Amino acid sequence: MQTIKAAVCRAFNEPLVIEDVQLAAPGAGEVEVTLEAVAICHSDISYADGAWGGFLPAVYGHEAAGVISAVGDAAGDFKLGDPVVVTLIRACGSCPSCASGKPTICETPYDAIKGPLRTSDGGPLEQAMACGAFAEKVVVSHRQIVKIPESLPKDLASLLSCGVITGVGAAINTAGLRPGQDVVVIGAGGVGLNAIQGARIAGARRIVAVDMTEEKLEIAKEFGATHGVLASIKEPWKAAYKALGGRGADAVLITVGAIPAYEQAPRYLGRGGRAVMIGMPHSGDEARYEPVVLAALGQGLVGSKMGDVVIQRDIPWMIDLYEQGRLKLDELISGRWSLDQINEAIADTKTGSAKRNVIMFDKG
């Protein structure tokens, strides 16, 4: 096993610790990727804060990009030196979910505690979300990675691993938006801005962004929102109705984990509309609905994990959109930090003002 540096969570809701850890060589079907960038997702922060429990110590991080530095047997057609994005979608490819085109909900379990990571003294260390990318290198399944153009900067590429595919995919794959439909996006953070982009790419007629701050509503308009509504006003869904010409939305995309947002989401819907649940509340949090309203109006609630993407199909498509100037990536990055600055970057992300902070491994 080789020694690398990683940001380790040893206690929930405490700063991560930069330390030496051990990384095993790639086994069958696996590759080693030397990382150049990893973005900080709110899911990483929620895990590190103990919102969903889990094993400790652990290495979080799952929005990454780098270059393949070792290849195990039977690892597809990947080779040394290939630039790739690394995702948390460790799909087996043959279970009923994978076989039906839903690799994000693969049914084959993966024991992340028995994965390639160990502490410096050989103790167990969880490879959280099957990635453990708050580290200099990762060893992952070849099904978790997608080759990218040499010309695509790794900081931008890392955003495609989760935030972009989750937001854009939720609008296009899960909501199935069609040209001329109306959309409400609750939350204008990293995922919300990408949901707005996805709605724009799908040809939505009106896109109403709902957020707590005027500043983020203005940013949302730069990404494609046609209207903005402050979530703090009384009955914000009425303002959204007005913006939509006096009717409810065909789809409401909930990109935050706040329970009030989940409970209010159906109020934004029109007849036959669907609320798409994207943001991740803490374990144990519950929302209340009046089912008779949804039943009477033919409305629905549906979950969306990672935008229901097939990464080998959707990531190359999104790269093409970026290269054509139809998908914003550069504008999503709020700051670039070194691994030693990860706790500062996390604190900045927690303020809610950042879109995406990215850890760059070439920053000393």
Give the tens place of pLDDT for each residue, 86-112: 999 999 999 999 999 999 999 999 999
Helices 190-202 & 214-222 angle (0-180, nearest 10): 40
Number of structural domains in the chain: 2
> CB-hemisphere CA count at 13 Å for 270?
15
Q: pLDDT tens digits for 245-279?
A: 999 999 999 999 999 999 999 999 999 999 999 99
Q: Are residues 236 and 97 in the same domain?
A: no
Q: Are residues 151 and 118 in the same domain?
A: yes
Q: Are 158 and 65 in contact (CB under 8 A)?
A: yes
Query: Whole-angstrom Cα distance, residue 324 to residue 306?
Result: 24
DSSP 24: P
Q: Are residues 118 and 153 in the same domain?
A: yes
What is the pLDDT averaged over residues 215-243? Answer: 97
6 inside domain = yes
What is the pLDDT averaged over residues 22-45? Answer: 97
Q: Are 233 and 260 in contact (CB under 8 A)?
A: no
324 inside domain = no
What is the pLDDT averaged over residues 18-45? Answer: 97
315 inside domain = no
**Per-residue model confidence (pLDDT) at position 363:** 63
Residues 6+ apart with CB under 8 A from 259: 281, 285, 286, 287
Q: Are residues 73 and 112 in the same domain?
A: yes
List the domain range (segments joined by +) for residue 139.
Answer: 2-160+329-360
**Per-residue model confidence (pLDDT) at position 189:** 92
Query: Residue 364: is its pLDDT beyond 70?
Result: no
Q: Are residues 155 and 31 in the same domain?
A: yes
322 inside domain = no
What is the pLDDT averaged over residues 63-84? Answer: 97
16 inside domain = yes
SS3 292: helix
**Per-residue model confidence (pLDDT) at position 202:** 98
Query: Whole-angstrom Cα distance, residue 300 to residue 298?
Result: 7
**Per-residue model confidence (pLDDT) at position 154:** 98
DSSP 55: -
Query: Whole-angstrom Cα distance, residue 292 to residue 215?
Result: 37
Q: Given CA atoms 219, 229, 179, 194 in this order, what sign does their dihedral have?
A: positive
What totals of helices (H) and strands (E) does the chain contain, helices first?
Answer: 11, 18
Q: Are residues 264 and 124 in the same domain?
A: no
Q: Are residues 270 and 195 in the same domain?
A: yes
**Per-residue model confidence (pLDDT) at position 205:** 98
Q: Are residues 291 and 345 in the same domain?
A: no
- Which pLDDT band holds residue 352 (cuts at 50, 70, 90)? confident
Share of residues in the chain with pLDDT > 90 (%): 98
Query: Whole-angstrom Cα distance, residue 337 to residue 126?
Result: 24
What is the pLDDT averaged over residues 212-226? Answer: 96
Alpha helices in the chain (DSSP H): 42-48, 96-99, 154-159, 163-169, 190-202, 214-222, 236-243, 259-264, 291-296, 311-323, 342-350
106 inside domain = yes
Long-range residue pairs from 20-23, CB within 8 A, at least 24 positions apart, any chain: 20/120, 21/59, 21/117, 21/118, 21/119, 21/120, 21/125, 21/135, 22/117, 22/118, 22/119, 22/120, 22/122, 23/116, 23/117, 23/118, 23/135, 23/137, 23/138, 23/139
Q: Are residues 156 and 171 in the same domain?
A: no
318 inside domain = no
Among 238, 13, 3, smallest CA distance to 125 is for 3
Q: Are residues 229 and 142 in the same domain?
A: no
- Which pLDDT band holds residue 354 (cuts at 50, 70, 90)? confident
Q: Are residues 8 and 152 in the same domain?
A: yes
Q: Report the relative pairing of strands 227-230 and 145-147 from DSSP bridges.
A: unpaired
What is the pLDDT averaged over residues 48-57? Answer: 94
What is the pLDDT averaged over residues 293-320? Answer: 97
Q: Are residues 129 and 219 in the same domain?
A: no
Q: Given CA atoms 197, 208, 285, 348 in this order, what sign does their dihedral have?
A: positive
Structure tokens at 252: 């409401």
Read off the CATH number of the domain in which 350 is found. Answer: 3.90.180.10
314 inside domain = no
- What's the predicted TM-score (pTM) here? 0.95
Q: pLDDT tens digits for 160-216?
A: 999 999 999 999 999 999 999 999 999 999 999 999 999 999 999 999 999 999 999
Read off the CATH number of the domain in which 175 is found. Answer: 3.40.50.720
Query: Whole-angstrom Cα distance, residue 93 to residue 234?
Result: 47
SS (H, E, C) 295-327: HHCCCEEEECCHHHCCHHHHHHHHHHHHHCCCC
What is the pLDDT averaged over residues 54-58? Answer: 96
Q: Is 78 exposed, middle or buried (0-12, 13-18, 19+ CB in 10 A)?
A: middle
